[in-house]
Amino acid sequence: MRGYVLGVPDSAYSDEQIDAAIDRISDPEAFREAERTVARVAPRLQVVLAEALSAGGWFGESHEAEVLRAATSPGDDERLNAVRTLLAEEARMGMMVGVAVGWALAEELANPEEED
């Protein structure tokens, strides 16, 4: 039997399998269904995401220092570039942690543990 890590088989997927999966989720109706599902659980998942980002130190002192640096950069162009970069980094980090949260949720849904 194949092992799983975060709901994903521990063996690599072929390029063809990945392409086929991307094609399936690219279907507008299939994606709308995924959006409806996420919208239904988003409030609760938002809490998990915020806790994961906080635990990872993203909203700690270093983040606050970067916010201050971006906001107080001399010159309009430098300040705009620093704010854009910070926003892009926050979006990337949020997406990465969000994917991890989604995988963990998929794992829980695929393999629910027996209640005590």
Q: Looking at per-residue confidence, does 43 or 115 come out higher?
A: 43
Structure tokens at 86: 């910070």
DSSP E strand boundaries for 1-116: 4-5, 8-9
Domain chopping of the chain, boundaries? 42-110
Whether pLDDT at 116 is above 70 = no
Whether pLDDT at 3 is above 70 = no
Whether pLDDT at 86 is above 80 = yes
Q: What is the mean pLDDT of the chain?
A: 81
Q: Please list the alpha-helical segments (H only) found in the chain.
A: 15-26, 28-55, 61-71, 76-110
